[in-house]
Structure 1
Amino acid sequence: MPHSPLQLLDGLFDEEGMETAAHRFVLGGPFGAEPAETTAERLAHFAHAGGLLVETSHSYAGGKAEAAVGDWLRKNPGRLGVATKVGHDTTGGDIPLSRDTVFEHVRSALENLGVEAIDVLLYHCDDPDRPVAELADTLVSLVEAGHVRRVGVSNWRAERLSQLAAELGERHHTPVASYQFSLAEPEPALLEGSLHADSAVLGVVREHRLPLIGWSSQARGHFARTGPKEHHGKPDPYDTEDNRARRLRCRELAVELGSLPETVALAWTLHHPAVWPSVGARTTAQIDNSLQARRLTLTEEQVRWLRDGR
């Protein structure tokens, strides 16, 4: 009998889970800021295509995103797991990660999502004034209370991520890491406080064998465009000389492989086995284009050439 998505989620980020998962894509998107029918269509399409995990946050869409996802989950129990993040208010600002505040937001998320337990709960930010051990204790307490199944963090500095991995490892938990990760490396100053999985972060990920959810894995459409595009009226953080050269190489290889440049870029991301690319597809056609990356097997030479040009 086939495994259900939630059965697979029990070992989702383990080596066994990677072998049995239909695919490693995670679905994000403008949940709560779009018509409910659009959300339902996209979630159903993603689930039917073998998707396992949808990603959102307690702060997205002014606090409406979780409820929008929850509306579909209530009508389709067990078809998709859910990852959500806490630590931002509804304007996107960081909040103190006290135990009481985190538990309050998690209880609210459970109600919004209509689930008994959140499959992956992430700190959306760090709280540098608090010891890592305290923040780790809160995460473990959430698991022990049955509120969440897996825990992790997004946008932590490499040294703090390393400390957390060690703290949670002593408690028999392996955290999930969540950072921007794609073939296009953004200009850090333009990410507005969010962090790219740079060499220091990737070093921690490898050392502690952490699964990595790579958000903006399509670099906000960089590889599908021919020029820059502002994001919320601000410069495109992916419009750099190196990234424009990578886009050209993706186009060249796409012609050779009979594919699309953005699909080649996603295949580059999938080449990294511990990475789970999060795609912010807004249509079912965009989901299908993303999933085509599974059919492209890149060589080590192609992977190196796409990034470095040599």
Structure 2
Amino acid sequence: MKFRYLGNSGLKISEITYGNWLTHGSQIENDVATECVHAALDAGITTFDTADVYANTVAEQVLGDALRGQRRESLEIFTKVYFPTGPSGPNDTGLSRKHIMESVNASLKRLQTDYVDLYQAHRFDYETPLEETMQAFADVVRSGKALYIGVSEWTAEQLRAGHALAKELGFQLISNQPQYNMLWRVIEPEVVPASEELGISQIVWSPIAQGALTGKYLPGEPFPEGSRASDSEGGAWFIERYLNEDILEAVQKLKPIAEDHDLTLAQLAIAWVLQNPNVASALVGASRPGQIASNVAAAGVTLDSAAMESIDAVVGHLAQDDPALTTSPEERLT
């Protein structure tokens, strides 16, 4: 495992972060989830990412149980706040001071820890003054309940505004967690340049495009049984954008590039996002322990310029790079 600094801070995280968005508390049983977490630890992963909204708080509880007994100082535990939890009352969502303070306390209890290393705004909240949100985050840091603050899916303009307030309030905004992969590059035109300017790193989710870049979805053929695309409750709605014939045919053409580097297609996809110097870590999940070792093999891989150009020649024209697609919900979900 390789490690990178997170933003303009002294915090190092593993190049591969284990995330439990669609798995813990929903897709897989708790004992399998624990096995996956332990496999991640065995593979050298030290960074674990979750959110209070995942499985309506259950994912945090499962991760806390799975990490019980580990040396806390050897881990980086991340969670998030914004989306509705509990009965979805009027204050059970958003980035108000009330919701942030109540949520961080609840998350710490479920995760069975006194602090999280990174507390993230899961989306931008248009309905709460940014000053209120950032003051609440400053107080969370000063109370010792979070060491650093990050965000997820914020635009370049939002990052600049949040960073300026954080600096004024005496704490660091060090990360953004956007979707990013060979087919979804909307952060490249604006978010990455702003982040480089501000000292903010990306922790990217969906590096294998929800499985579309693994090559298991073949053009003109039914989706494999048990795959995400065939599971209406496990994220099928999210992978749909990647499953048109042009993309599926292009993905198959990536195989020779992967083979030339002794990589699987999934490893190639993860290695590709890690070539971006503004990316600190790639988030990966797992529904079985064996997937972990395979994903970790992408850490430390260097793709030369010829390989990157070859990848672009195959899928670059199919990639979405409109920065306007970096958005948060206009209204809180209640």
TM-score normalised by the shorter chain: which range applies?
0.7 to 0.9
Match of 1:214 in 2: 204
Judged with a 3 Å threshold, the aligned counterparts in structure 2 of structure 1 residues 145 and 17 are, in CA distance, closer, same or farther, namely closer
Once the two structures are superposed, what CA deviation does each residue of 1:40-96 show, in whole Å capped at 9, x if it has no partner? 111111112211111111011122111111112233242532111111113898823
- 1:119 Cα deviation (Å)? 0.9
87-96 or 207-216, larger mean C-alpha shift:
87-96
**SS of 2:254's equivalent?**
helix
Match of 2:167 in 1: 169
Q: 1:134 aligns with which of 111, 132, 135?
A: 132
**SS of 2:141's equivalent?**
helix
Match status 1:88 vs 2:83: yes
Judged with a 3 Å threshold, the aligned counterparts in structure 2 of structure 1 residues 92 and 208 are, in CA distance, closer, same or farther, namely farther
**SS of 1:296's equivalent?**
coil
Match of 1:252 in 2: 256
How well do the aligned residues superpose, as a CA RMSD in angstroms? 2.7
Distance 1:92 1:201 in 2: 34
Distance 2:159 2:87 in 1: 21
Judged with a 3 Å threshold, the aligned counterparts in structure 2 of structure 1 residues 106 and 36 are, in CA distance, closer, same or farther, namely same
Match of 1:70 in 2: 64
Q: 1:300 aligns with which of 301, 305, 317?
A: 305
Instruction: For 1:35, give the aligned amino acid.
Output: E
Match of 1:270 in 2: 274
Kept after mapping to 1: 8 A contact 2:174/2:199: no
Kept after mapping to 2: 8 A contact 1:185/1:238: no
Instruction: For 2:264, give the aligned amino acid.
Output: L
Kept after mapping to 2: 8 A contact 1:28/1:280: yes
Kept after mapping to 1: 8 A contact 2:37/2:67: no
**SS of 2:270's equivalent?**
helix
Match of 1:192 in 2: none
Judged with a 3 Å threshold, the aligned counterparts in structure 2 of structure 1 residues 185 and 60 are, in CA distance, closer, same or farther, namely same
Distance 1:242 1:174 in 2: 39
Distance 1:92 1:154 in 2: 23
1:48-127 map, 5 Å: 48-78=42-72, 79-90=74-85, 95-127=93-125
Match status 1:181 vs 2:180: yes
Instruction: For 2:261, give the aligned amino acid.
Output: L
Which structure ranks higher in relative contact order (CA pairs < 8 Å, sequence separation ≥ 6)? 2
Kept after mapping to 2: 8 A contact 1:269/1:277: yes
Judged with a 3 Å threshold, the aligned counterparts in structure 2 of structure 1 residues 297 and 306 are, in CA distance, closer, same or farther, namely same
Once the two structures are superposed, what CA deviation does each residue of 1:176-224 show, in whole Å capped at 9, x if it has no partner? 10110111218xxxxxxxxx53522222222212111101111111121
Identical pairs, percent: 24
Match of 2:30 in 1: 36
Judged with a 3 Å threshold, the aligned counterparts in structure 2 of structure 1 residues 245 and 271 are, in CA distance, closer, same or farther, namely farther
Distance 2:66 2:150 in 1: 25
Instruction: For 2:56, give the aligned amino acid.
Output: G
Distance 1:134 1:242 in 2: 46
Once the two structures are superposed, what CA deviation does each residue of 1:86-130 show, in whole Å capped at 9, x if it has no partner? 111138988232101110010000111110101111111211123
**SS of 1:64's equivalent?**
helix
Judged with a 3 Å threshold, the aligned counterparts in structure 2 of structure 1 residues 296 and 92 are, in CA distance, closer, same or farther, namely farther
Judged with a 3 Å threshold, the aligned counterparts in structure 2 of structure 1 residues 15 and 261 are, in CA distance, closer, same or farther, namely farther
Judged with a 3 Å threshold, the aligned counterparts in structure 2 of structure 1 residues 15 and 95 are, in CA distance, closer, same or farther, namely closer
Judged with a 3 Å threshold, the aligned counterparts in structure 2 of structure 1 residues 15 and 97 are, in CA distance, closer, same or farther, namely closer
Q: 2:242 aligns with which of 238, 260, 263?
A: 238
Distance 2:243 2:65 in 1: 37
Kept after mapping to 2: 8 A contact 1:230/1:236: no
TM-score w.r.t. the length of structure 1 is: 0.83
Instruction: For 2:82, give the aligned amino acid.
Output: G
Kept after mapping to 1: 8 A contact 2:162/2:173: no
Match of 2:16 in 1: 25
**SS of 2:283's equivalent?**
strand
Unaligned 5+ segments in structure 1 are: 1-7, 187-195
Instruction: For 2:266, give the aligned amino acid.
Output: E
- 1:148 Cα deviation (Å)? 0.5
**SS of 1:141's equivalent?**
helix
Match of 1:201 in 2: 191
TM-score w.r.t. the length of structure 2 is: 0.78
Distance 2:230 2:154 in 1: 26
Judged with a 3 Å threshold, the aligned counterparts in structure 2 of structure 1 residues 84 and 304 are, in CA distance, closer, same or farther, namely same
**SS of 2:297's equivalent?**
helix
* Larger fraction in helix: 1
